[in-house]
């Protein structure tokens, strides 16, 4: 596809990088020549300096021939105007980043009137991911499929737990009937396991299971499943606002520590049920006074990655505290993943997954669209959900007779709202939702699972 990205900040660069990996032709527009020079050196994209709200700039970028315009500047109004002009100039799809909470209730109207394919809000998406981690505290990562009916959860195998030394052939009978181990990370090796695979202590595993099987899995795996009743948040920015609002709706107590006094006043008005503390979250004495030792979950959402990491490292020393750390800029993922900072949430990657999913679905306008897409383990593994809308080479055929690509697993089939953990005798049917986990990148259609 021919894609124009307007605005090359953290999100714009991440989108350009991942869309290039998917072999799309990308043009990046930005006002800052220094940023454009960096992008052109690092990525195989075309760059154009200019104002993306000017028709002639969009025309020079090729808007009349492009398939999609993504407006990801730091200003909502600029993004909306860019999409409006692009839509008038061509028949392309348009995606706008809209971050201001004041626009939340206006999104349906804006999408309809401006003809937007979708809007993206990185902060709201990040808050939704954090909420899932709080609701299922034993998991360090959660990917949801089939509108929340099925989750793929990331957990660690504890020494001497029922999972330690367990053969996957025995997983169903000894741990959980309606669950499947999809991916195993052992030290630096990532494996899509087969039935004869033996789990070991300290393995990181991803397990697909239905919501109804969650308690059974955690209980029999020897993993703690403590319900979170109160949350402390360091930093009172936009993500904190969205998260606190959702937590309040879930009747979970919230305490926010924010350094800016004016922002504290705003949050007090916006979030009447939350406790807002004016202070520095990096002050150890303040954290102790506010009860970090007794809180169930601690979420670091300051504007500085380094501060978030240090705060989470400290909080992890408090027994039983669930830590969630927001990372925006730091690129040393392999180093960060080895630190005891709990779950890591990166808004730009969450948003990029939304857009890559949309792009893949747009490439396959009929048949089996990508409904959901997640990337795991530093983008080494993809898990995705396909909606089977018509017959194809993979429907009606027992799975054992399909010539599947290597390192690919059919992790689940959702049929009439029920999750089927498939065996070789099961088959994919029209109307099903199918969950695929694979190290093969770029699947756009369910038939891409075949060699």
Looking at residue 246, its pLDDT comes to 95
Q: Domain ends where: 317, 345, 373?
A: 345
The pLDDT assigned to 223 comes to 85
Element (H, E) at 141: strand 141-145
Looking at residue 215, its pLDDT comes to 87
* CATH classification at residue 71: 3.40.50.720
228 falls within a domain: no
Per-residue model confidence as pLDDT tens for the chain (451 residues): 999 999 999 999 999 999 998 899 999 999 999 999 999 999 999 999 999 999 999 999 999 999 999 999 999 999 999 999 999 999 899 999 999 988 988 999 999 999 999 999 999 999 999 999 999 988 989 999 988 889 999 999 999 999 999 999 999 999 998 899 999 999 889 999 988 999 999 999 999 999 889 889 999 998 877 789 999 999 999 999 999 999 999 999 999 999 999 999 999 999 999 999 999 999 999 999 999 999 999 999 999 999 999 999 999 888 778 999 999 876 666 667 677 888 999 999 999 999 998 888 887 655 677 888 998 888 889 999 999 988 989 999 999 999 999 999 999 999 988 899 999 999 999 999 999 999 988 888 899 999 8
Is residue 256 one of the residues assigned to a domain? Answer: yes
Same domain membership, residue 282 and residue 180: no
Distances (CA, A) of 321 to 30, 232, 247, 324: 42, 10, 17, 10
Same domain, yes or no: 275 and 301: yes
Segments forming the whole domain that contains residue 172 = 127-221
| Residue 154 within a domain | yes
Which residues, including other chains, have CB under 8 Å from residue 423's CB and lie 6 or more apart?
399
- CATH number of 419's domain: 3.30.70.1450
Classify residue 227: in a domain, yes or no: no
Q: Note whether residue 354 is domain-resident.
A: no
Residues 111 and 49 occupy one common structural domain: yes
Is position 226 within any domain?
no
3-state SS assignment for residue 103: helix
Where does a domain end: 318, 345, 372? 345
- Do 192 and 276 fall within a single domain? no
The alpha carbon torsion through 95, 98, 102, 108 (nearest 10 deg) reads 10
Domain-embedded: residue 293: yes
Residue 278 and residue 335 share a domain: yes
Domain boundary among 312, 345, 378: 345
Residues 81 and 13 in one domain: yes
As a whole number of angstroms, the distance between CA 297 and CA 326 comes to: 14
CB atoms within 10 A of CB 41: 7
Q: 35 with 137, same domain?
A: no
The answer on 391 and 316 residing in a single domain is no
C-alpha dihedral (122, 125, 131, 132), degrees to nearest 10: -130
Q: Say whether both 94 and 153 belong to one domain.
A: no
**Same domain for 323 and 240:** yes
The total of structural domains in the chain comes to: 4
Shared-domain flag, residues 191 and 88: no
Same domain, 212 and 313: no
């Amino acid at each position: 596809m021919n894609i124009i990205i307007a605005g090359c900040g953290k999100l714009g660069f991440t989108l350009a990088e991942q869309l290039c990996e998917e072999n799309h032709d990308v043009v990046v527009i930005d006002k800052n020549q220094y940023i454009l020079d960096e992008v052109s050196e690092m990525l195989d994209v075309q760059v154009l300096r200019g104002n993306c709200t000017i028709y002639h700039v969009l025309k020079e970028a090729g808007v009349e021939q492009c398939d999609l315009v993504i407006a990801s500047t730091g200003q909502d109004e600029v993004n909306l105007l860019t999409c409006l002009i692009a839509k008038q100039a061509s028949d392309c799809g348009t995606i706008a980043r809209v971050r201001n909470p004041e626009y939340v209730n206006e999104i349906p109207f804006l999408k309809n009137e401006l003809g937007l394919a979708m809007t993206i809000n990185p902060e709201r998406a990040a808050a939704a991911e954090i909420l899932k981690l709080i609701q299922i505290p034993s998991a360090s990562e959660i990917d949801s499929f089939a509108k929340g009916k099925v989750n793929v959860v990331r957990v660690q195998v504890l020494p001497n737990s029922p999972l330690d030394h367990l053969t996957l052939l025995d997983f169903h009978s000894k741990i959980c009937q309606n669950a499947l181990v999809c991916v195993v990370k052992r030290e630096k090796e990532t494996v899509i396991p087969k039935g004869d695979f033996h789990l070991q202590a300290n393995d990181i595993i991803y397990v697909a299971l239905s919501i109804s099987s969650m308690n059974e899995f955690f209980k029999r795996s020897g993993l703690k499943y403590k319900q979170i009743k109160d949350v402390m948040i360091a930093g009172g920015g936009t993500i904190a606002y969205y998260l606190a609002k959702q937590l309040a709706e879930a009747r979970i107590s919230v305490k926010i520590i924010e350094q800016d006094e004016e922002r504290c006043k705003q949050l007090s008005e916006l979030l009447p049920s939350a406790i807002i503390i004016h202070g520095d979250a990096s002050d150890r004495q303040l954290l102790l006074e506010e009860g970090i030792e007794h809180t169930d979950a601690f979420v670091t959402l300051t504007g500085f990655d380094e501060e978030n990491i240090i705060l989470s490292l400290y909080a992890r020393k408090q027994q039983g505290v669930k830590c969630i750390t927001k990372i925006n800029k730091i690129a040393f993922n392999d180093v960060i993943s080895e630190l005891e900072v709990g779950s890591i949430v990166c808004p730009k990657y969450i948003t990029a997954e939304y857009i890559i999913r949309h792009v893949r679905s747009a490439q396959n306008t009929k048949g089996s669209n990508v409904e959901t897409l997640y990337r795991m383990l530093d983008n080494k593994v993809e898990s995705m959900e396909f909606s089977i809308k018509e017959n194809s080479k993979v429907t009606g055929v027992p799975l054992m007779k399909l010539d599947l690509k290597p390192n690919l697993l059919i992790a689940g089939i959702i049929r009439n709202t029920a999750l089927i953990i498939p065996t070789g005798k099961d088959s994919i049917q029209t109307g099903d939702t199918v969950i695929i986990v694979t190290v093969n990148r770029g699947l756009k259609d369910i038939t891409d699972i075949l060699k």
